[in-house]
Structure 1
Amino acid sequence: MNPTMHTYDSKPVLAQALAGRIAAQLSEAIASRGSALLALSGGSTPKLLMETLSGTEIDWSRVTVTLVDERWVDDSDERSNARLLKTHLLKNKAAAAHFVPLYAAAPTPESALATINARIDGLALPLDVAVLGMGGDGHTASFFPGGDRLDEALDPNGTHSVLPMRAEGAGEPRVTLTVPRLIEARALYLHIEGDGKREVYEQALNGTDYPITRVIKLAAELETYWAP
């Protein structure tokens, strides 16, 4: 499957375009089913997207937001994706949204795995919109090269919604939504910026075995948004 590629001249223009697309799909979900479910990625790339999305005119009180993945740190930690989301998205009009975290107050992700899976499985799945990012090593979500549970997380027939992940490139232990939860999303996006990431993405399209390569192959539909 060759994903659709949307290219933009600048990051602000990309953020406006993708935020508008996401907002429209969340509104459609609310109109059709009474609620909407959105999963966003962390990192520095989506900050402007979150800021832009926070001011969109939709019924945020009917939107539930969760994360694609999370570092196993409390949301007071600067590296917390929950903190990033609360800072850049859950304000302005989006302050009315309901947030479901992937972190739980437990010493390890493994010890809280049942709790987190129950939390995600209790949502009105499938996700209406999921937005992935990608690292320079070809990881997406917390599907890191060499991850201890990478094959399990990338198994399209897996039964877990969330799995822990430990890898040399991950820093802290992490938890991540698994491939089944991501590829079943009604809309799946990949948001990348910069020439380096575009090069990695094109390598993935040409068959280099990155984790993102496997997601691209498994997804029925994936739209990529890129700006320099």
Structure 2
Amino acid sequence: MSLNENNFQSTDELNATFAQSIVDILTAGINENGRASLVVSGGRTPKALFNALSKVALDWSKVDISLADERWVETDDDASNEKMVRRELLQNKAAAANFVGLKTEHDNAKDAVETCTANLAKLHTPFDVLILGMGEDGHTASLFPCSEQIHQGLDQGARRTYIAVQPTTAPNQRMSLTLPALLNSKNIFLHLTGDSKKQVLDKAVKGGDEHEMPIRAVLNSADVELMWAP
């Protein structure tokens, strides 16, 4: 498996190029299968990318969008990934896309795993595009090294699609796609900005313990396109 590094001079250059690459892949998926799927991550890094992407011409009515993970909070909470995606991505031309959120009416994410798994059937799989981020601790999606659930989340032999996660170093219970579900993607991108994240990635690439830095499990199992700017 390989990591192909795409380094840009600025985040503006990164976002413009990345948005067009995503649209090209989604267009090819629509032409081939009638629909295409885009799975995104939350956090601060992708906001500007989502805003740029929302303005690009595409038959968005044929695109299904979902999340790699979600904080188990109400969708109007500022911590909600869904709230951010609706505000930044599902606007302008992209407002026509079909969004499949993760948060359900269940109080505990554990009780929502079956519902989320059933809802995944609404998305075209394998995912045409998966965009991952990475934390300073090497977590990706909500596969946290500090959580008791990390072994289950990285277990490629299990048939789990989603897993409820309780980090000990971050707030909120989470719902996350498992490693095998994340890997069920045609194109996997790792979207990072800043020198500190590049240093974390370099550490991940050089080490071997996937449970210590879960991003390693993705890098060791798939071809990944790094999109990075300072």
User: Residue 64 of structure 1 aligns to a residue in which SS?
Assistant: strand
2:214 to 190, 195, 211: 211
Contact 1:147 1:167 (C-alpha < 8 Å) held by counterparts: yes
State how 1:51-90 maps to structure 2 within 5 Å. 51-90=51-90
Q: Which AA in structure 2 matches 1:224?
A: L
User: Residue 152 of structure 2 aligns to a residue in which SS?
Assistant: helix
How far apart, CA to CA, are the structure 2 residues paired with 1:48 and 1:201? Answer: 22
Q: Which AA in structure 2 matches 1:101?
A: G
Contact 1:127 1:181 (C-alpha < 8 Å) held by counterparts: no
Q: Which AA in structure 2 matches 1:215?
A: V
Q: Which AA in structure 2 matches 1:217?
A: N
1:224 to 206, 223, 226: 226
Kindly tell me the number of residue pairs found equivalent between the two proteins: 227
The equivalent residue for 1:175 is 175
Q: What are the ranges of 5 or more consecutive residues in structure 1 without an aligned counterpart?
A: none
How far apart, CA to CA, are the structure 1 residues paired with 2:170 and 2:22? Answer: 28
The equivalent residue for 2:18 is 18
TM-score, normalization: structure 2? 0.96
How far apart, CA to CA, are the structure 1 residues paired with 2:127 and 2:197? Answer: 26
How far apart, CA to CA, are the structure 1 residues paired with 2:205 and 2:2? Answer: 7
How far apart, CA to CA, are the structure 1 residues paired with 2:123 and 2:114? Answer: 15
Contact 2:69 2:176 (C-alpha < 8 Å) held by counterparts: yes
TM-score, normalization: structure 1? 0.97
- Following superposition, the deviation at residue 27 of structure 1 comes to 0.3
How far apart, CA to CA, are the structure 2 residues paired with 1:149 and 1:122? Answer: 26
List per-residue Cα deviations over 1:116-148 (Å, max 9, x = no partner). 111113432111100000011111100111212
Q: What are the ranges of 5 or more consecutive residues in structure 2 without an aligned counterpart?
A: none
List per-residue Cα deviations over 1:36-62 (Å, max 9, x = no partner). 011000000000110010011110000
State how 1:156-195 maps to structure 2 within 5 Å. 156-195=156-195
User: Residue 126 of structure 2 aligns to a residue in which SS?
Assistant: coil
Q: Which AA in structure 2 matches 1:151?
A: H
Contact 2:163 2:178 (C-alpha < 8 Å) held by counterparts: yes
Q: Which AA in structure 2 matches 1:117?
A: T
